[in-house]
Chain A
Amino acid sequence: MSTRFVSFGTPNLIADRLPETHPLTWRLRGDGEPIWLDEYRSKQGYEGLKKALESTPDDVAALVKEAGLKGRGGAGFPAGVKWSLTAKGDEIPRGYLLCNADEMEPNTYKDRLLMEQEPHLLIEGMIIAAYANNSMRGYIFLRGEYVDAARSLNRAIAEAREAGILGDSVLGSGFDFELSVHTGAGRYICGEETALINSLEGRRANPRSKPPFPGQSGAWGKPTVVNNVETLCNAPSIMANGKEWYLDLALDGSQDGGTKLFGFTGRVNNPGLWELPLGTPAREIFEDYAGGMRDGYTLKAWQPGGAGTGFLLPEHLDAQMCSNGIAEVGTRMGTGLALAVDDKISMVALLRNMEEFFARESCGWCTPCRDGLPWTVKILRALEQGEGEQGDIEMLIDLVHKLGPGKTFCAHAPGAVEPLGSAIKYFREEFEHGISHPHREPQAEPIPLGQV
């Protein structure tokens, strides 16, 4: 038998987790085993759902909006606002609720923990969201590699169905909702919400142009809501404990409510994942939780939340981890899982690795992204080898603009160039160093046309 190293049981759980302060993780067991229905119920499970079913769908959406819950999938759109914009009414067919569990953004490892160990928390959150959006059916769009999460979720869904929590008349309320797991077959772009809808429909995962927004016309032309796993996992406690409590969880200065799964990785002493209040200073996460850099390494730069966010400097560590806090230092919080880049890493080589990823994962739908990203890779590879040419950095900066927001169908290309632009801004000399032949002569005489 082979040794199995599952990700169950992250050793880095905060010791004193309480329902009032750690709504996402207080139930987690020390042994890392999933929390099944009986245990979940004994730990206040499905109580938020009961409260939600006692109020009207509009009130549920309004409460989530007032609680300041922002999307945890990277874009940070207010969840309650999204829910209030979903088309619903007597003449409008009931639509779909899609949970975005495609987690493939480099340096993102939070949804996995929630799904593997707290599947019922996600199910409860999804039923609440479905009730608010009048969705008749939900799918958890799970990346194919997450086999342990699939096992947990499928078993939990079966338990919930058996207990009358899913299916016809959820908990006797008269509200019907079906839920299943849909596993993907690879490709980062499936996480973009309209590409996800195409993929669910059995098509190539090319994003769709907006408008129409999914809330008006999404999966099979029906109103469709797409939310991240962690976003949905926040709904039960908001329902159970109210908006004041949720807003108060966040620290002063944060415009987002609640807590968030934060992380720090790279060559730090204690890489991990911790549930902390929104607005926690990045320095606290880096120093107190991640334990600072390992001996022999110094922090050179960091990225607040995934490959698509901009690089920051050590001096920015005092920024608060929340949408407005990170916006103040010039980038986005993204997924909130930060990466430390140390002094032994070349920014040019790191960016080469990142752009290889973005170029490979481009869906190829629009030209700037499909052709521009391989171009950045080509230039970065040359700079890494010391074979760059005069004008290469200007060309990279030009590409950063040409692939920026609003120029492509989806946010993949803007996400790909945000780290590049910021790396050149802060570490330009490293890029310049790659131009070793400023006036390089042609290596060979051009071959006359028609002779090849």
Chain B
Amino acid sequence: MDTSFKHDTLIASDRPDDGFVLSDEERTAIEHEMHHYENPRAASIEALKIVQKRRGWVPDGAIYAISDVLGIPSSDVEGVATFYSLIFRQPVGRHVILLCDSMTCYINGYEEIRDTLKRELGIVPGQTTADGRFTLLPVCCLGNCDKGPTMMVDEDTHSHLDAAGVIKLLEAYA
């Protein structure tokens, strides 16, 4: 008996019907990454980042699409996606604030910055503002300890933060 058809439908029936398709660009970028390593699996983190770069986050459908391209189980892709803190499995704001909460920034007073951000943005770390502008996340030491408190907004590193300046500085991020 030919079971392949059944097997495929079984897998397909497990998948969300959210119409997710990788763009040609994304697929090409992922296939390009695969060749940088001995084994296609190694491109899984990069593949997630490729999807996230374009869409801001990684929707469910992307997990299956990536697993198909790399030829590894979707549970492995999901395992990776949920392990790493910079892969977002839910939508984030247009700008992501990574606020260093490590000990040196603690001594330099990061808690005041965090409290200011919480108050002014009306969110706690892990949340996104209602207008979808900012997501606030804690991050491990940003390697900028001689210039703390410090945070990143998207790809920019900001040093010597103070409570008054931090809100002003966010104005640049529309």
A-side residues, CB < 8 A to B, are 1-7, 10, 12, 103-109, 111-112, 144-148, 180, 182-188, 199-205, 219-220, 263, 265-267, 271-273, 307, 337, 339, 341-342, 345, 350, 353-354, 356-357, 361
Tell me how far the C-beta of A149 lies from the nearest C-beta in chain B, rounded to whole angstroms.
Answer: 9
Tell me how far the C-beta of B90 lies from the nearest C-beta in chain A, rounded to whole angstroms.
Answer: 15
Given the interface contacts A10-B146, A105-B141, does A357 sit within 8 Å of B101 by beta carbon? yes
The reply to whether B107 and A267 form a contact with Cβ atoms under 8 Å apart is yes
Within 8 Å by CB of B103, from A1, A103, A106, A263, lies A106
Q: Which residues on A sit within 8 Å (CB–CB) of B147?
A: 7, 271
The reply to whether A106 and B43 form a contact with Cβ atoms under 8 Å apart is no
Q: Which residue of B lies closest to A351 (CB)?
A: B103
Interface size class of B (residues with CB under 8 A): 35 or more
Q: Which residue of A lies closest to B77 (CB)?
A: A202
Question: Which chain B residues numbered 125 to 174 have a C-beta less than 8 Å away from chain A?
Answer: 139-148, 152-153, 155-159, 169, 172-173
The reply to whether A180 and B36 form a contact with Cβ atoms under 8 Å apart is yes
Question: Which chain B residues numbered 75 to 91 have a C-beta less than 8 Å away from chain A?
Answer: 76, 79-80, 83-87
The reply to whether B141 and A104 form a contact with Cβ atoms under 8 Å apart is yes
Q: Which residue of B lies closest to A419 (CB)?
A: B103
Some 21 contacts from A to B, beta carbons below 8 A apart, are A3-B169, A5-B157, A104-B143, A106-B104, A107-B103, A109-B145, A145-B139, A146-B143, A183-B46, A186-B85, A186-B139, A200-B42, A202-B42, A202-B44, A265-B107, A271-B147, A272-B146, A307-B102, A337-B145, A339-B104, A341-B107
Given the interface contacts A144-B86, A345-B107, does A2 sit within 8 Å of B152 by beta carbon? no
Interface residue B48 (Cβ < 8 Å from any Cβ of A): yes
- The docked-state distance in angstroms from the alpha carbon of A150 to that of B171 is 27
Q: Which residues on A sit within 8 Å (CB–CB) of B13?
A: none
The reply to whether B141 and A187 form a contact with Cβ atoms under 8 Å apart is no
Tell me how far the C-beta of A360 lies from the nearest C-beta in chain B, rounded to whole angstroms.
Answer: 8
Q: Which residues on B sit within 8 Å (CB–CB) of A104?
A: 140-141, 143
Q: Which residues on A sit within 8 Å (CB–CB) of B86?
A: 144-145, 184-186
Tell me how far the C-beta of B55 lies from the nearest C-beta in chain A, rounded to whole angstroms.
Answer: 15
Tell me how far the C-beta of A182 lies from the nearest C-beta in chain B, rounded to whole angstroms.
Answer: 8
Within 8 Å by CB of A353, from B37, B103, B173, lies B103
- The docked-state distance in angstroms from the alpha carbon of A337 to that of B169 is 29
Q: Which residues on A sit within 8 Å (CB–CB) of B169?
A: 3
Q: Which residues on B sit within 8 Å (CB–CB) of A361?
A: 140
Given the interface contacts A3-B169, A186-B85, does A266 sit within 8 Å of B107 by beta carbon? yes
Tell me how far the C-beta of B97 lies from the nearest C-beta in chain A, rounded to whole angstroms.
Answer: 12
- The docked-state distance in angstroms from the alpha carbon of A111 to that of B43 is 25
- The docked-state distance in angstroms from the alpha carbon of A356 to that of B98 is 17
Q: Which residue of A lies closest to B110 (CB)?
A: A353
The reply to whether A202 and B144 form a contact with Cβ atoms under 8 Å apart is no
The reply to whether B103 and A307 form a contact with Cβ atoms under 8 Å apart is yes
